[in-house]
Amino acid sequence: MLDTHTAAVEQRVSTGSLPGWQDVDALVRDAYERERDDRAGDVARYIPSLATAVPDQFGVAVVDVMGGAHDVGDAWTLFSIQSISKAFVYALVADEVGHDAIGERIGVNNTGLGFNSVMAIELNEGHPMNPMVNAGAIATTALIPGATAEEKWSRLAAALSAFAGRHLAIDEAVYASESQSNDRNRAIARLLLSYGRLDDDPAEAVDLYTRQCSLLVSAHDLAVMGATLADGGVNPVSGEQVVSGQVSRDTLAVLAASGLYEHSGEWLFEIGVPGKSGVSGGLVAIAPGKGAIGTFSPRLDAAGNSVRGQRTAAHLSRVLGLNIFASRSAGDAAVEDV
């Protein structure tokens, strides 16, 4: 980790706001109509329970930091959160153990390799590198405080529910299916243990990770969860301070670097906001200080990312002014303000 000597310096922020509620509502509905007939991609088939997904389901939700919500299509349809859970479990653990400790133990750099790569662990002397790949996510989940696996699970489930502003339940069928087909994750956990990167039983860590991926959410839930990170850790619907503002900032930075795995650079180049996808078809894109987009569409591209979700997020990023790298000249802004 870089030694930046900024721990005692007050963090200033610079964020804008979304257009008016009616404008946002119209733009979200337009984005849904633009993509609703897209049939590109296919459902995930390497996890048996996900192979039964209805491929043409499609929902879009946008939630702003004031709690305003815009839901279209299958925005309330439930599906398993899968890898999107990594972002919020990372935030939970970072809030518990602190910026420096989790940065040193887990890391924040993109591996440049697949999310379940074993080679990435070996190439980096056992370091998981970042919490968005499976190795880093398993190591992060293992850091959740608790004397027993059930205590850890209770804490994890409660935190993710707080992000969503409602109780999240497990899809038991998905949990059972993934538990029977997660040999690679068990191997990754054993490898982390051999390098001293896990303090707990690797089988227990993988089981907790599998359970977190099986929690049921909707596109609306993802937008609320993302908006919580966008609003300095405050859930815009419940008003609860779920994590600190610094943890929210750190989590969004990690998502920007590694949220879409080895395609994170392309995502940031084209869409310009931190994001995270899951192989069940969920996707969240977060604009700091403004709000978040949640989408659900099970048809995935070859990298395992929702096709319609990515295209919808790209369109909304442009029309809602979400891209964190977009700017205009000071002269143009001054002319408009006259």
List the structure tokens of 267: 């995502």
d(CA 219, CA 205) in angstroms, rounded, equals 27
Q: Other C-beta atoms within 10 Å of 165: how many?
A: 22
Are 201 and 73 within 8 A, CB to CB? no
Q: Is 195 annotated as a binding residue?
A: no
d(CA 49, CA 137) in angstroms, rounded, equals 22
Q: Is 83 annotated as a binding residue?
A: yes
Q: Is 178 annotated as a binding residue?
A: yes
Q: Which residues contact 288 (CB under 8 A, 6 or more apart)?
A: 13, 15, 229, 230, 249, 252, 274, 324
Q: Is 323 annotated as a binding residue?
A: no
Residue burial 264-293, b: 16+ Cβ < 10 Å; e: rest = beebbeebbbbbbbbbbbbbbbbbbbbbbb
Are 143 and 208 within 8 A, CB to CB? no
d(CA 204, CA 208) in angstroms, rounded, equals 6
Query: How does DSSP classify residue 215?
Result: B
Q: Nearest to residue 276, comparing CAs of 215, 223, 234?
A: 223
* Helices 149-164 + 202-213 axis angle, to 10: 20
Q: Is 185 annotated as a binding residue?
A: yes
d(CA 193, CA 126) in angstroms, rounded, equals 9
Q: Is 134 annotated as a binding residue?
A: yes
- Taking only Cα atoms into account, the Rg of the chain, rounded to an integer number of angstroms, comes to 19
Beta strands in the chain (DSSP E): 59-64, 69-73, 79-80, 216-217, 275-277, 282-287, 291-296
Q: Is 172 annotated as a binding residue?
A: no
Helix (H, G, I), strand (E, B) or coil at 73: strand
Are 208 and 145 within 8 A, CB to CB? no
Binding site, annotated residues for substrate: 83, 134, 178, 185, 209, 261, 279
Binding site, annotated residues: 83, 134, 178, 185, 209, 261, 279
